[in-house]
Amino acid sequence: MLSPTQILDQYYLEARRDLLEIAALLDRYDAARLRDGADDGNHVQRDILRRALTHLADSETPSGERTSTLLELFAET
Amino acid sequence: MQIIQPHYHAIARTTQDYERMAMSGVVAVCEPAFWAGYDRRHAETFIDYFVQISEFEPTRAAQYGIRHFCWVALNPKEAEDPGLTREVLDAMPEFLDKPTCLGVGETGLHKSTKNEIDALQAHVELAMEHNQLVLIHTPHLSDKAHGTKKVLEVLDGLDIDRNRIWIDHVEEQTVKSVLDAGYWAGMTLYPITKCSPRRAIDILEKYGTERLLVNSSADWGPSDPFTLQECIFEYRLRGHSTQEAIEVFHNNPCRFLGQNPKWDIKPIRIETDTTV
């Protein structure tokens, strides 16, 4: 099994890429709302994503449970 | 749809790339001089490399109906030996005269050291003396914003034609400064460490298509020339027309590269676009 340092060395850049994709998705969403000027009131998926990101950023989250917690969150849709 | 791959390191790829690119609409590739994965020690090694990309590689591409063009330069990662830099610069004019050589590149910065900056300046000055186009590499990852700013500062001090300079590997944090300064900007699609196809389309939608190029820079590292086709697919999925895609992925390279008369591929326009 990999050490903590090895895990970051191995997967940091992929995590960086994935976070940038999420940031770009949210920017794209905001730009579309600004451009179209329409609000259909259906932002459930956007809210789920925000809750997921907040959950990941929470340092109090029990170690090793982040993935299953997110899966439960996504199941709400 | 006809596609131009403006930045592609063919010598690091197998012939199967050419076959698949030909089948997916690629009509031309451009190969800037690149880093070999280790620092070359002799100017003669560069000279042989320049022969390979200016003489041999066009014949390999031609077997698949693809035009192959090249650029020559010493790579920024190899600029720490000023003597070697000067020897390579002295050898370059012979290759700038080759029928498929489009200009000086990729020069640029890696760690933005003094020697790199001196080499970048010397490359740009050589290009201007010989009326050549310039392709400038900007650094990777955490060095990108600082390195791009430094590139712009170096260029600010030189007597140049900004429309003849392409600054490559821009991302969200650098594209505006490059475009605002009047240069061409290139977005490089990499699976992990550079722009993604979706992010590239976001940038096109935000800044417009003028003076923007998209490439895959496929090389010997983690890279994939078909991220370019993936990008076109994403562009079309978002509702942009075939002609709009042609403008970005074929005509824009023609507009920039066509400033060198050796580039004889013209922008194309489909008569009636009913495929929106």
ipTM here: 0.91
B30 bridge partner residues: B69
A24–chain B nearest CA distance, Å: 6
Computed over every residue of chain B, the mean pLDDT equals 96
CA dihedral in degrees (B241, B242, B248, B254; nearest 10)?
-150
Scored b (16 or more CB within 10 A) or e, B142-157 reads eebeebbebbbebbee
B196/A17 touch (CB, cutoff 8 Å), yes or no: yes
Mean pLDDT, residues B197-202 taken together: 98
B273 — pLDDT class (breaks 50, 70, 90):
low
Instruction: With beta carbons under 8 A apart, name residues in chain A contacting B192.
Output: 13-14, 17
A13/B206 touch (CB, cutoff 8 Å), yes or no: no
- Prior bond of B106 cis (ω within 30°): yes
- Asked if the model's pLDDT at residue B275 lies above 60, the reply is no
Mean pLDDT, residues B5-33 taken together: 97
B27-77 per-position pLDDT tens digit: 999 999 999 999 999 999 999 999 999 999 999 999 999 999 999 999 999
Mean pLDDT, residues B77-92 taken together: 97
Instruction: With beta carbons under 8 A apart, name residues in chain B contacting A28.
Output: 198, 202
Instruction: With beta carbons under 8 A apart, name residues in chain B contacting A31.
Output: 202, 205-206
Mean pLDDT, residues A17-45 taken together: 88
pLDDT for A77 equals 74
d(CA B126, CA B86): 11
Rounded to 5 degrees, φ, ψ at A5 are: -65, -45
Are the CB atoms for B67 and B262 separated by under 8 Å? no
B188 bridge partner residues: B215
Instruction: With beta carbons under 8 A apart, name residues in chain A contacting B196.
Output: 17, 20-21, 24
A40-75 per-position pLDDT tens digit: 666 889 999 999 999 998 877 667 889 999 999 999
A24/B196 touch (CB, cutoff 8 Å), yes or no: yes
pLDDT for A76 equals 85
What's the CATH fold of domain B3-257? TIM Barrel (3.20.20)
pLDDT for B152 equals 98
A36 — pLDDT class (breaks 50, 70, 90):
confident
B117 — pLDDT class (breaks 50, 70, 90):
very high
B222-232 per-position pLDDT tens digit: 899 999 999 99
pLDDT for A38 equals 64
- Asked if the model's pLDDT at residue B90 lies above 90, the reply is yes
Mean pLDDT, residues B101-107 taken together: 97
A20/B202 touch (CB, cutoff 8 Å), yes or no: no
pLDDT for B88 equals 98
- What is the residue extent of each domain of chain B? 3-257
- Asked if the model's pLDDT at residue A25 lies above 90, the reply is yes
pLDDT for A37 equals 77
Instruction: With beta carbons under 8 A apart, name residues in chain A contacting B202.
Output: 24, 27-28, 31
Which of A21, A25, A31 comes nearest B206 by C-beta?
Answer: A31
Which of B191, B192, B202 comes nearest A27 by C-beta?
Answer: B202
pLDDT for B141 equals 86
pLDDT for B199 equals 98
B141–chain A nearest CA distance, Å: 9
Q: By percentage, how much of chain B surpasses pLDDT 90?
A: 94
A-B interface: how many C-beta pairs under 8 angstroms? Answer: 24
